[in-house]
Amino acid sequence: MATALTLTGIGHAYLGRTVLDGVGLTLAAGEVVALVGPSGCGKSTLAHIAAGVVEPLRGRVERAYRRHGMVFQDPRLLPWATARDNIAYPLRLMRLPRAERRALAEAAAERAALDAADLDKYPVELSGGMRQRVAIARALAIDPDFVYFDEPFTALDVALKRRMQDLVIAASRALHFAALFITHDLMEAARVAHRVAVMDAHGRGIAGERAVPGTPGERGDGDLYRLVASFLADDPLFRHIHDVDERRAP
């Protein structure tokens, strides 16, 4: 299978303090990999390096995909722009004609289950869940073949988080994009991903990986609960994923 992203020997530091060292990870085209690990171990930093937002101090990033989108924990919407214009913003940067931008933005909004009536609203008029749908639609509007999700649903309640996960699963299956999905929620990781990678507690590489049986969107809740319970109770790889080190950079 073709490779979408390869990270080799990635290292990084903030103010002289090492946060990542020797991290390597490969994602195949069309594969969703969830990256979990203790809070503060450098998961988000790694995603930002992979996406080119942050330049690593050492190591190599090879992006074999055509175009990527990003979804953050904070929707990061332009407060002065409508939902439609927020979705279309990256299309504007691509200098697409206005009519084409509008059509692509509305198609992406529909895929993110946004009502047409909400597209003329401003972010302040939307709920937290609706703002995150706009952020997802913005990422999908550019027809990406890779998407970075940086803990996108952490601030949402359980029921809404599940609906958003289903949205991501459906979009990844329909559009066949690969994705690196950063999360601290092991159940979320097991629901959305083909494979779970666990970051070392101190950012010293990937401690290990586990394939998730079955296909995202087709796994039963009972099977997922049993799998996650087994990971937490019996698999030493997941022993420290709920640890917190508040001194480390995100």
What's the mean pLDDT in 192-200? 97
What pLDDT sits at residue 249? 45
Residue 223 lies in a domain: yes
- With residue 66 as reference, give the H or E element that holds it: none
What is the tally of structural domains in the chain?
2
Whether 132 and 170 map to the same domain: the answer is no
What pLDDT sits at residue 86? 97
Domain boundary at 93, 122, 144, which?
Answer: 144
What pLDDT sits at residue 244? 60
Whether 55 and 83 map to the same domain: the answer is no
Whether 18 and 89 map to the same domain: the answer is no
**pLDDT at residue 48 is higher than 90:** yes
Predicted confidence (pLDDT) per residue in 130-185, tens digit = 999 999 999 999 999 999 999 999 888 888 999 999 999 999 999 999 999 999 99
CB 140 within 8 A of CB 112: yes
174: phi then psi, degrees, rounded to nearest 5: -75, -40
Residue 4 lies in a domain: yes
Query: Taking the model in full, what pTM does it have?
Result: 0.94
Predicted confidence (pLDDT) per residue in 102-117, tens digit = 999 999 999 999 999 9
Whether 151 and 132 map to the same domain: the answer is no
Residue 108 lies in a domain: yes
Whether 52 and 174 map to the same domain: the answer is yes
What pLDDT sits at residue 40? 86
What pLDDT sits at residue 16? 84
**pLDDT at residue 201 is higher than 50:** yes
CB 203 within 8 A of CB 228: no
**pLDDT at residue 248 is higher than 60:** no
53-67, 77-91, 151-165: range with lowest mean pLDDT: 151-165
- The H-assigned helical ranges of the chain are 43-51, 83-93, 98-111, 128-141, 158-175, 186-192, 221-234
**pLDDT at residue 245 is higher than 70:** no
Share of the chain above pLDDT 90, in %: 87
Output the CA angle 97-100-102, nearest 5 degrees. 110
What pLDDT sits at residue 200? 93
**pLDDT at residue 1 is higher than 80:** no
